[in-house]
């Protein structure tokens, strides 16, 4: 065969082979190995907690009011002052109460003087009765005179008893007037800090209709956090559980304490104005929250009334345990073990059964089946998707 024909057939064969390879690459590409989003099993702290939003309150707060009416003569404290129990905090003009006390004392003195007169009369009636009795026994006096002396004695004794009762009433009136006079001196009922000045010096207060508040006093050495716990979570919490919270102004600082109590009824029951009926049922779409109370020392005064707190009530926790992301967990088998996919040296994922401990839906504790450094598959995507071609850092980093 001529050489030119051989060359022509060879070129034609190469052209056909090239076309075949091109068609295969374009229309029949090879299956691409998937890219995995993985995480490294490592040591980490895991906690399972109930989250709640709370408000800071004073451990104890009282409204110091006035039980006497009148003008505030002087205010002895300023906002933020630290006061002691029994300290004078305000003074009300006491002229009216002083006059009432003087009147009560004068009325008492008057009744006491009347008693002295009646006691003298009683003494005279006793002597007259004794003479009439002696004369009647000696047949020297009439029975009429004796009976008149006896009646006069009983009358005198009754007058003395009546005046003694009046003296008791007058003494009570004096005591009441003294008490009312004492109400013009407003004293602190406890140690605390003045957190509000409700009334000002020179203001007139009226205690006849209601008790007017002069100042508000609070104990701030200890702060109480009122945490709102949803009805779905309240069944899982109980007094004595460990709690920590943070405030918005210092989110990096944790305040640790324990749950003191959970109130048995929500706040909504205090404002419930609905009328119950045996023939109708009222439903509400409002979420129900129960108040959990926890106390924390506040020696530096950094915690203030009405601050917002992010509260975590710990149900369970594990320190420095082998953990992986919860998203890496698969189905559970009949033995209670959970399947995960572990990335091998060849870049392929193989299933493996593991035993899971604490799981807070973010991280899961691995009790058996993995070791630190194993790469577990969290998700996968086709190669070429740059948004998923990544690996998560090891746990605990």
Residue 375, Cα to own-chain centre: how many angstroms?
45
Q: Tokens for 217, please give them.
A: 């006093």
**Residue in the structure block whose two tokens are 């089946």:** 369
Residue 93 burial by Cβ neighbours in a 10 Å radius (0-12, 13-18, 19+): middle
Least confident of 183-187, 263-267, 271-275, 354-358: 271-275
User: What is the pLDDT at residue 385?
Assistant: 47
**What's the pTM?**
0.67
pLDDT tens track for 231-268: 999 999 999 999 999 999 999 999 999 999 999 998 87
User: What is the pLDDT at residue 354?
Assistant: 94
* Band (24; pLDDT cuts 50, 70, 90): low
Residue 353, Cα to own-chain centre: how many angstroms?
45
**Do 229 and 90 form a contact (C-beta atoms < 8 A)?**
no
pLDDT higher than 50, residue 277 = no
User: What is the pLDDT at residue 23?
Assistant: 60
pLDDT higher than 80, residue 283 = no
Residue 73: count other Cβ atoms within 10 Å of its Cβ: 14
Q: How far apart are CA 154 and CA 191, in angstroms?
A: 59
Q: How far apart are CA 159 and CA 161, in angstroms?
A: 5
Architecture of domain 35-46+318-381 in CATH?
A: Beta Barrel (2.40)
List, in sequence order, every residue forming a beta bridge with 316; answer none if it has no partner: 48
Residue 271 burial by Cβ neighbours in a 10 Å radius (0-12, 13-18, 19+): exposed
pLDDT tens track for 307-366: 999 999 999 999 999 999 999 999 988 888 999 999 988 888 899 999 999 998 899 999
Residue 225 burial by Cβ neighbours in a 10 Å radius (0-12, 13-18, 19+): buried
Q: How far apart are CA 342 and CA 40, in angstroms?
A: 10
DSSP per-residue letters across 156-174: HHHHHHHHHHHHHHHHHHH
Distances from the Cα of 84 to the Cα of 196, 214, 301, 312, angstroms:
16, 16, 17, 35
SS3 of 380, please? strand
Of 263, 290, 239, the closest CA to residue 52 belongs to 290
Residue 14, Cα to own-chain centre: how many angstroms?
86
């Amino acid at each position: 065969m001529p050489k030119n024909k051989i060359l022509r057939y060879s070129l034609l064969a190469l052209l056909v082979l090239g076309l075949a390879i091109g068609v295969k690459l374009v229309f029949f590409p090879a299956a691409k190995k998937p890219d995995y989003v993985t995480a490294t099993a490592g040591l980490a702290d895991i906690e399972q907690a109930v989250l709640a939003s709370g408000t800071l309150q004073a451990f104890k707060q009282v409204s110091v009011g006035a039980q006497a009416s009148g003008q505030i003569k002087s205010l002895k404290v300023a906002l933020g002052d630290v006061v002691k129990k029994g300290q004078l905090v305000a003074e009300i003009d006491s002229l009216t109460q002083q006059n009432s006390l003087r009147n009560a004392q004068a009325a008492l003195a008057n009744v006491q003087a009347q008693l002295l007169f009646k006691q003298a009369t009683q003494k005279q009636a006793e002597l007259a009765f004794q003479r009439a009795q002696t004369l009647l026994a000696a047949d020297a006096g009439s029975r009429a005179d004796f009976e008149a002396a006896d009646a006069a004695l009983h009358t005198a004794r009754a007058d003395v008893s009546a005046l003694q009762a009046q003296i008791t009433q007058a003494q009570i009136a004096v005591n009441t007037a003294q008490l009312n006079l004492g109400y013009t001196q407003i004293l602190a009922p406890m140690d605390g800090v003045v957190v509000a000045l409700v009334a000002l010096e020179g203001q007139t207060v009226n205690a006849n209709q209601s008790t007017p508040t002069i100042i508000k006093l609070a104990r701030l050495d200890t702060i109480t956090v009122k945490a709102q716990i949803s009805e779905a979570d309240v069944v899982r919490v109980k007094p004595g559980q460990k709690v920590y919270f943070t405030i918005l102004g210092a989110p990096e600082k944790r305040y640790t304490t324990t749950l003191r109590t959970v109130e048995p009824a929500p706040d909504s029951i205090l404002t419930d104005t609905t009328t119950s009926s045996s023939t109708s049922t009222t439903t509400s779409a409002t979420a129900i929250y129960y108040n959990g109370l926890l106390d924390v020392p506040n020696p530096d005064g950094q915690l203030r009334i009405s601050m917002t707190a992010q509260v975590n009530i710990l149900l369970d926790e594990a320190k420095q345990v082998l953990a992986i992301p919860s998203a890496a967990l698969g189905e559970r088998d009949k033995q209670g073990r959970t399947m995960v996919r572990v990335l091998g040296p060849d870049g392929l994922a193989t299933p493996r059964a593991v035993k899971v401990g604490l799981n807070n839906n973010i991280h899961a504790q691995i009790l058996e089946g993995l070791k630190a450094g194993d790469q577990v598959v969290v998700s996968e995507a086709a190669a070429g998707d740059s948004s998923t071609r990544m690996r998560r850092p090891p746990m605990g980093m």
